[in-house]
């Protein structure tokens, strides 16, 4: 995407050409862009470096408010934007991001004759719908869609799909892309950072080396299956109630973690999520013995109103 002229944002000249060819052959097209990754990440054009959280190994997102910074959406740690690439010292760092909403408008403008379906909810797609359209735009995991006669699958911006706060996002992307190697005549991966390790791994198809690298990283970053992880969410319609409750739970957990080996408790008292009119904050816990670590908090977690515990 750095060298090829875009016809529309996220639709390169190459992709557009292939789309026209595919439709001319009477085959179907699948365009993939994960909505959850629709924010900017920081990548190096020259060497494939991408800004990763030093404690979670996940791609960080660029935030411009209140100031320019990189934020890990998993552990919520915050860093300043580097001026040059820490790996190859190039100044060609780019903020690479995507807006899902406008993709289908752009595709409709380019190919007004084509029947286009924007898939926002996989449950609403029936086998019949799949026969009625030529182009599908998927905003989540789309590999389960049984589209027949698939001529072209394009991942519109790989780094954006990777910027999702799940520790297994690389494995899931690897699997998704490889899946289409068997189902789609052509595959296009668009990126502004062509040397991203995932792209090399997917195209070489060396599963063993990808597996070994992933296992090593999970071990190094204390991720499952080498530890256990839990997120505790506390929500309420009042911001200050959430803040008070999470502060007291978090501080007793942080205290308990000091006496438990290899256990970490992370929480950022400033970061709020707002969902369905409720404020929500989270505590992230990593521990090799989660059940015994959580035991003393059991009553509090089970009976507490507005508390959700999620195993990762």
Residues that bind Zn ion (CB under 5 A): 44, 46-47, 49, 53, 55-56, 72, 74-75, 85, 87-88, 90
Residue 173: CB minimum distance to Zn ion, A: 18
Residue 57: CB minimum distance to Zn ion, A: 8
Question: What is the DSSP secondary-structure string of 219-270?
Answer: HHTT-TTSSEEEEEEEEESSHHHHHHHHHHHHHHHHHHHHTSTT-EEE--TT
In the block, residue with structure tokens 């595709």: 107
The distance in angstroms from the start CA to the end CA of the chain is 34
B/e letters for 91-126, b = 16+ CB within 10 Å, e = fewer, are eebbbbbbebeebbebbeeebeebebbbbeeeeebe
The secondary structure of the chain in percent helix, strand, coil, rounded to multiples of 5, reads: 35, 25, 40
CA atoms of 269 and 78, how far apart (whole Å)? 13
**Residue (49 or 133) nearer to Zn ion, CB:** 49
In the block, residue with structure tokens 């996940």: 58
Strands (E), 77-216: 78-79, 93-96, 116-119, 135-138, 150-155, 186-189
Q: From 157, 181, 193, select the one nearest 35 (Cα to Cα).
A: 157
**Residue (82 or 296) nearer to Zn ion, CB:** 82
**Residue (27 or 268) nearer to Zn ion, CB:** 268
**Residue (16 or 49) nearer to Zn ion, CB:** 49
CB 275 within 8 A of CB 235: yes
In the block, residue with structure tokens 């995507």: 98
CA atoms of 229 and 221, how far apart (whole Å)? 12
CA atoms of 204 and 50, how far apart (whole Å)? 20
**Residue (48 or 97) nearer to Zn ion, CB:** 48
**Residue (76 or 201) nearer to Zn ion, CB:** 76
**Residue (178 or 195) nearer to Zn ion, CB:** 195
In the block, residue with structure tokens 């780019």: 94
- DSSP annotation of 295 reads G
Residue 271: CB minimum distance to Zn ion, A: 12
CA atoms of 199 and 214, how far apart (whole Å)? 14
**Residue (47 or 81) nearer to Zn ion, CB:** 47
**Residue (22 or 160) nearer to Zn ion, CB:** 160
């Amino acid at each position: 995407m750095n060298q090829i002229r875009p016809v529309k944002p996220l639709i390169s000249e190459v992709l557009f050409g292939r789309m026209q060819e595919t439709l001319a052959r009477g085959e179907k097209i699948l365009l993939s862009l994960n909505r959850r990754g629709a924010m900017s990440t920081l990548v190096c054009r020259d060497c494939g470096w991408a800004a990763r959280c030093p404690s979670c190994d996940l791609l960080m997102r660029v935030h411009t408010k209140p100031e320019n910074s990189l934020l890990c959406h998993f552990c919520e740690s915050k860093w300043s934007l580097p001026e040059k690439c820490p790996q190859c010292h190039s100044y060609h760092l780019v903020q690479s991001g995507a807006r899902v909403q406008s993709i289908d408008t752009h595709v409709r403008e380019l190919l007004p004759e084509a029947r286009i379906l924007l898939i926002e909810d996989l449950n609403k797609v029936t086998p019949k719908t799949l026969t009625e359209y030529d182009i599908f735009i998927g905003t989540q995991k789309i590999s389960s869609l049984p589209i027949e006669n698939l001529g072209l699958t394009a991942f519109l911006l790989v780094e954006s799909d990777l910027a999702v706060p799940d520790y297994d996002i690389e494995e899931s992307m690897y699997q998704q892309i490889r899946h289409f190697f068997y189902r789609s005549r052509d595959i296009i991966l668009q990126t502004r950072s062509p040397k991203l390790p995932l792209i090399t791994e997917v195209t070489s198809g060396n599963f063993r080396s990808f597996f070994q690298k992933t296992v090593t990283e999970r071990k190094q970053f204390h991720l499952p299956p080498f530890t256990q992880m839990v997120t505790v969410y506390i929500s309420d319609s009042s911001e200050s109630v959430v803040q008070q409750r999470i502060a007291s739970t978090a501080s007793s957990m942080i205290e308990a973690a000091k006496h438990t080996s290899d256990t970490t408790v992370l929480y950022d008292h400033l970061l709020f999520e707002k969902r369905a009119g409720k404020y929500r904050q989270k505590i992230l816990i990593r521990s090799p013995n989660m059940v015994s670590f959580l035991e003393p908090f059991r009553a509090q977690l089970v009976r507490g109103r507005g508390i959700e515990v999620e195993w990762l």
